[in-house]
Amino acid sequence: MRAEKISEMLDVAADVGGKPTDAEFPTPYLGRSVKIVGPHVNVDMNQSPHPKNARGELGKPLFNWYRNTVSNDPLTRVSAPNHFADRRHFLTNVINRSTKGKVNPQKVAVDDPAAMTRHIKAVAHYLGADVVGIAKAHPTFLYAGSRYVQDGTAEDAYQQEAPEDLVRRFPYVIQATTAWDYNKLQAHRHHIGDAAYHVSQMKGVLMLKALEGYIKELGYTALRGVVTPQAAGVAGGIGELGRNGLVINRNFGARIHMPDPILTDLPLVADEPVDIGVEDFCKICRKCANTCPTNSIPFGDKVVFNGIEKYKINWLTCYKLRPYVHDQWGSCLTCAAVCPFTKPNVWWHGLATWALRTCPIPARPALVHVLKWIDDRFWGVTRANRVRWLGYDSGIKPGDQACTVAGCTASHEGKGNSGAVDGNIGYYAPLKENTNRFVKRDA
């Protein structure tokens, strides 16, 4: 953290709750995949991709894509940010802009935080969560500046408080999330993959809103737009941070969202970070870096960025692709689809991840080589499965007319769809073709 930043925070903390000390806020352990190793400036989400783009700071193509483009895909229009004809059809927007409810003054006493932890996790699962983790809050996990809720707003009575003081008041973070469908994800770089991604994301927003309301009805505070989702995810044991910049979960791999978590004073017991072998796998694998169409994922070692040791992806090159592929797909997802951890949540996947996480660390590289060989052999070095769903068909070449008749199961090969390919191989634009397209047009 920069010196002036530290002194500013010390001043504010002295006003509202006393000076923070290392003993009060020891550097949190985040597992083997990511480490806090130096001074860290809290993330200001106003400097993150979407807000920058909304202000027009990333160039005209991205700005127009974000603000002025209606998707040609009706499912994208109701489930993805900003590509609707009418914003009121996008449920996430409706939920995130709704009036915030008050905390019930009739507080439920919590005598047993462990029992409450089990209860709140069960409630979250019942409301639709696939994975739930509880993290002990730490000032470095909190955003600098104002609250940030994508496609919505968040106000609360604690806006002016320093991260240290917020953590003193609200010591726990609940990260509850949803996984996206494995089979549809195989059609990454396609509207089918978009649907799997965006609809599960929307369900996650709904689930978290309901969980937020439940905590307030119990008489406790639930703040949103305050905590970095990835920090909450790794600290709360949801997964490890991969080379692809995604939190990778034991059961679902990289096909989970990292939504806006809940900062709360509900008495809970925090989970610990997990070791599922992502650290060992990423050192050897590099499948995501090899298949990324924009070369945004590093092949080399981790770096220290803002005091955090991790693999650093280039979010700008990843983001810049979107305006040029908008007619065919919205969210790339290739790095999630290709990751060997991303599999159906079934027994053989459980067996492989069990073998990896119970293997002594020195012996893991050998096991990783075997598991990666199996992955390449049976799932391929890239993912190019053909997926047919709701009349969509990832065997149709992007730009050609796909059948969009709901419920249609007919084969259209050779009947006007000139780009249709035979068999079970999906059509995916040659990987680097996309990059060349946007590099040339953006120059």
Which tokens go with 319?
A: 């983001």
The angle formed by the CA atoms of residues 9, 15 and 17, to the nearest 5 degrees, is 85
Is 438 one of the binding residues for ligand SF4 (CB under 6 A)? no
Among 163, 237, 239, 242, binds ligand SF4 (CB under 6 A): 242
Is 288 one of the binding residues for ligand SF4 (CB under 6 A)? yes
Is 313 one of the binding residues for ligand SF4 (CB under 6 A)? yes
Among 5, 35, 100, 286, binds ligand SF4 (CB under 6 A): 286
Which tokens go with 68?
A: 């002025």
In angstroms, give the least distance from the CB of 123 to ligand SF4. Answer: 31
Could you give the residue ranges of the DSSP H alpha helices within 42-84?
49-54, 60-68, 74-79
What is d(CA 312, CA 308) in angstroms, rounded to the nearest whole number? 10
Is 282 one of the binding residues for ligand SF4 (CB under 6 A)? yes
Closer Cβ to ligand SF4, 224 or 383, answer by number: 383
Nearest to 132 by CA among 145, 123, 140: 123
CB-based burial, 354-372: b 16+ in 10 Å, e otherwise: eebeebeeeebeebbeebb
Part in contact with ligand SF4 (CB under 6 A); list of ranges 15-23, 103-111, 115-123, 279-287: 279-287
Is 287 one of the binding residues for ligand SF4 (CB under 6 A)? yes
In angstroms, give the least distance from the CB of 424 to ligand SF4. Answer: 22
Closer Cβ to ligand SF4, 73 or 194, answer by number: 194
Task: Provide the terminal-to-terminal Cα distance of the chain, rounded to the nearest Å.
Answer: 35
Contact 66, 82 (CB under 8 A): yes
Closer Cβ to ligand SF4, 226 or 254, answer by number: 254
Q: Residue 174 — φ and ψ, nearest 5°?
A: -105, 120
Contact 395, 418 (CB under 8 A): no
Is 396 one of the binding residues for ligand SF4 (CB under 6 A)? no
Is 285 one of the binding residues for ligand SF4 (CB under 6 A)? yes
Q: What is the DSSP annotation of 314-376? A: -HHHHHHTHHHHTTT-S---HHHHS-TT---SSHHHHHHHHHHHHS-GGGHHHHHHHHHHHHH
Q: Which of residues 289-308 bind ligand SF4 (CB under 6 A)?
A: 292-294, 296-297
Closer Cβ to ligand SF4, 78 or 337, answer by number: 337
Total residues in contact with ligand SF4, by rule CB under 6 A? 24
Is 340 one of the binding residues for ligand SF4 (CB under 6 A)? yes
Q: Which of residues 315-334 bind ligand SF4 (CB under 6 A)?
A: 318, 321, 332, 334
Contact 164, 25 (CB under 8 A): yes
In angstroms, give the least distance from the CB of 284 to ligand SF4. Answer: 8
In angstroms, give the least distance from the CB of 276 to ligand SF4. Answer: 11
Closer Cβ to ligand SF4, 121 or 250, answer by number: 250
Q: At which residue do the structure tokens 């927007």 appear?
A: 93
What are the residues binding ligand SF4 (CB under 6 A)?
A: 242-244, 281-282, 285-288, 292-294, 296-297, 313, 318, 321, 332, 334-335, 338-341
